[in-house]
Amino acid sequence: MRSAASTVRGIPLAAAGLASGANACFALLASLLGGRLADQVGAKAVVIGGLALASVGFLLFLDWHEAWQAILVGALLGTAAGGWLTGQSALLAAIVPSDKRHIAFAQQRVAANLGLGLGGLFGGLIASTASLETFTWLFVFNSASFAVYGLFVARIAVPARTIVQLREGYARVLRDRTLLFVLAIDVALVAGAVSLLNGLMPVYARDSVGVRESAIGALFLVNSLLIIGGQLPIARAVEGHRRARALALTGASFAACWLLVLGGSWWFLLAAMVALSAGECLYDSVRSPLFADLAPAGLGGRYLAAAGFSWQLGFIVGPAVGAVLLGLSPRALWLAASALCLGAAAAALRLDHRLTDDVAVTPSRAAA
């Protein structure tokens, strides 16, 4: 959005950056509000509301010409994303039994990767900075996609539940020391691995290793294919195993990835991508189901909102600190990232004794 705003609309790059920043900040805040509303009025309503807001937001892109308009629309879309993404996780946890949640969230991850890949492909085929009309079509298609998804969600039957109104809300969430420990591990894994993949790894591969853009694109294709093909088998493989150990193995896989990156060739980068993809599949098989199972009655939305907040926070901290380290020394960045991931792995092993028996192990569907 930032480069398109500057090139096509003539918006100053600084203002376009502010629009992007507004998007991220409002998504962070909206995730917390979305979690509260999911507990109070239901996750389905939150998802539909967020999707409707996103659909309207993309249509507003059709008639904006000033920097302040871009910032407002960016904030609106961030609010929409923070709301519907949090609501979507809460809705998934509500309609899927606990013994199948790891499979459901794994399928969600596969669908997200397919959507990102297809969206990038069609967006690249449609949009051109030489023609404003191509972006008009792109925004219309985006708006329509959110509207169609909203209609689909509206048809989902949600089991009747008793709304548990709690006075404490997020105050009780913040007193859950086990949750805070999991959130700290989550921020470390996101900041130390996931957030660095799209932003800084390609810069390092091009500038320090000398890999061409097409070869970097091939690495990301491998990442997507491995996740699409490996996510569900790995989700089934963790059944009956302790979640904390799976998180520890995730951290170790991420750490190995960044050590391989230091090898200094495309083949080492390929091996690193394989290690990272394996870690991502483990991570998504354990992370969201753990947050959902930790939540007491009436706080499921808020617990998953806290998970969304930690994800967003990791994406803010990781690239910001990583860019500074990359400017000082590429080796320093990847060594620091590897150390952070190993620290998260060690913390995950300490987490194991904090988890009660009903959440410590990924349920087995056969046993259930």
Which residue ranges form the domains of the chain, and what is each CATH number? Answer: 2-103+130-154 (no CATH), 170-359 (1.20.1250.20)
Beta strands in the chain (DSSP E): none
Question: Which tokens is 291 given?
Answer: 């947050």
CA distances from 267 to 257, 272, 296, 332 (A): 12, 9, 47, 21
Query: Residue 208: which of 276, 275, 277, 263 has the closest Cα?
Result: 263
- Residue, of 68 and 226, whose pLDDT is higher: 226
Question: pLDDT tens, 287-324?
Answer: 999 999 999 888 889 999 999 999 989 988 998 899 89
Q: Is the pLDDT score of 129 beyond 60?
A: no
For position 123, what pLDDT does the model report? 67
For position 7, what pLDDT does the model report? 47
Q: How many CA atoms lie within 13 A of 365 on its CB side?
A: 11
Burial 260-280 (b: 16+ CB within 10 A, else e): bbbeeebeebebbbbbbbbbb
* Full-model pTM: 0.84
- Give the Cα separation of 91 and 96 in Å (integer): 9
345 CB-near residues (< 8 Å, 6+ apart): 247, 248, 249, 250, 251, 252, 255
- Give the Cα separation of 144 and 107 in Å (integer): 23
Average of pLDDT values for 102-111?
A: 90
Sign of CA dihedral 245, 248, 250, 253: negative
Question: pLDDT tens, 194-207?
Answer: 999 887 898 899 88
For position 127, what pLDDT does the model report? 59
The pLDDT confidence band at residue 368, using thresholds 50, 70 and 90, is: very low
Per the CB < 8 A criterion, the answer to whether 292 and 101 are in contact is yes
Sign of CA dihedral 74, 29, 146, 52: negative
Question: Which tokens is 135 given?
Answer: 């972006």
Report CA Rg, the chain. 21
- Give the Cα separation of 59 and 73 in Å (integer): 10
Residue with tokens 């200094």: 264
Q: How many CA atoms lie within 13 A of 188 on its CB side?
A: 25
The pLDDT confidence band at residue 128, using thresholds 50, 70 and 90, is: low
Query: Residue 280: which of 343, 225, 202, 200 has the closest Cα?
Result: 225
Residues 309, 32, 164: CA angle, nearest 5 degrees: 125
* SS3 state at 363: coil
Question: Which tokens is 39 given?
Answer: 């507990």
Q: Which residues on neighbouring strands pair with residue 131, listed in sequence order?
A: 128
Alpha helices for 213-299 (secondary structure H)? 213-237, 243-261, 266-294
DSSP letters, 58-79, are HHHGGG--SHHHHHHHHHHHHH
For 291, phi then psi, to 5°, come to -60, -45
Question: pLDDT tens, 223-233?
Answer: 989 999 999 99
- The percent of residues above 70 in pLDDT, for the chain, comes to 88
Q: Is the pLDDT score of 211 beyond 60?
A: yes
Phi-psi region of 211 (alpha: psi -120 to 50; beta: other; left: phi over 0): beta
